[in-house]
Amino acid sequence: MKYQAFNPYLPSWEYIPDGEPHVFDGRVYVYGSHDRFNGGGFCMNDYVTWSAPADDLSDWRYEGVIYKKSDDPAYRGRGSMYAPDVCRAPDGKYYLYYAFNPGITRKSWAIRCAVSDSPAGPFVYHGEVDLYPYSTQYLPFDPAVYVEDGRVWLYYGSGMFFPVLGVSKRNVKGGAVVELDPADMLTVKDGPHLTMPSSGLGEHSFFEASSMRKIGGRYYFVYSSAIGHELCYAVGDSPVGPFKYGGTIVSNGDIGLLEVHNGPKTASNYTGNTHGGILALGDKNYIFYHRQTNRNCFSRQGCAEEIVIEPDGSIKQVEMTSCGLNGGPLKGSGSYEARIACNLTSRRGGRFHSKPLGKNRAGCHPYFTQGGKDREHGGDQYIANFCNGAMAGFKYFDIDGLKRIGVTGCGNAEGVIEVKNEPFGAVVAEIEITPSAEEKTFYGEYRGDSGVKALYFTFLGKGKLKKFTRIVLG
């Protein structure tokens, strides 16, 4: 690899949730929504894409804006484009499907399509998939597209209900799949067929975020469940199922991995909605998902983890890490941005970010944020409000001969940061923190063991680190 790879895998100033990774001509392209830092709603920016060589997932390249809201003829200065997906069609062109809501009329929610000769765009408007006859049972939301042997399937749906669409809580079924005519990539030939229901599986019932991949002869349908913070999977023998529920692939709070992490309050990270898909590269497989930043659910960033598909087709839940696409632990020496912390909690636990948490309500809650405006390339994302009882966890480092650990930051904090290799383990370093108006690095002796280790930093004291910017291993 050219560089070490971290989570989030894109630069600190980029906010692309709902990531769908695809391999086209030797490069991995990620298509997703485009949030605005400090924005007041979901998906406020135009679509962009990033790509990386299929043999080096550390080397991401910005491909630019691929499609603007204003490129859709229905756009009238309002509305957002949600969670897209892209396929290479039988005609060799690339088709981008997206959910669009330019207004509040009954037919304002729709799945629309744009086309390009290149996976990097630019895309031009192509048309709308007429799903309106079925919209009272299967909402036209969060499209995913799959192509095989000259045939095309479109997946979509939501467990939400919208009276303005004539959709009641009673009649919404769940996720749906239709087959499209490859001649125009818009006309519904068959369906809709139910993928996964919005009830009957409890908290793991379908909510949104359909995604489809074929791996090892099996069809994997990935979706976001009713509890929001997890991506689940179901397996079928054909693109239209029937699909059998398999389990949770990843939770953006690691909920379900340990008994102590059984909900947003006790999770190892601040939770919120998530969306993503599987990337299959040779004998490696990865799940793409996203995390929340800035005390809200409107500034989300893409993350990814390697997953293992067992011989029987099952997938065990994976944990969030700081080194997701790295192919192994990070080096146990050097300076690392605090923004790659994969766990973040307060002394009062966590919360599910469904609404913005204003500054006056932030209280003891630490959070990821940045200086400057949206898409300023300063690269200064940091952890803010790191106060008494706040904990930031980083996983994993290959530690050998580590003598001291440092924390870089500033603020009126006065106390000590305890470092542990496990959240409730023994203290392996103590770092004394004193007030500092300017960024300063504070050090403590490392007394832990060598090997592949996690590092958890907990502040105990008065005041707070206004900015927690880096950890230093040396």
Residues in the chain: 474
Give which of 297, 277, 137 is closest to 209, Cα–Cα.
Answer: 277
Region of 117 (left: φ > 0; alpha: ψ -120 to 50; beta: rest) is alpha
CA atoms within 13 A on the CB side of 382: 20
- Report how far residue 317's alpha carbon sits from residue 366's, in angstroms, rounded to the nearest whole number: 26
Could you give the C-alpha distances from 237 to 16, 205, 220, 397, in angstroms and in order? 31, 20, 9, 40
Contact 399, 450 (CB under 8 A): yes
Give which of 23, 7, 4, 5 is closest to 277, Cα–Cα.
Answer: 23
259 flagged as catalytic: no
Extract the tokens encoding 266. 């006790």
Give which of 194, 202, 254 is closest to 230, Cα–Cα.
Answer: 254
- Report how far residue 282's alpha carbon sits from residue 92's, in angstroms, rounded to the nearest whole number: 23
Set 35, 72, 179, 208: catalytic member: 208
418 flagged as catalytic: no
Set 18, 20, 35, 418: catalytic member: 18
CA angle centred on 277, ends 276 and 283, rounded to 5°: 140
Contact 156, 142 (CB under 8 A): yes
Residues annotated as catalytic (active site), given as ranges: 18, 208
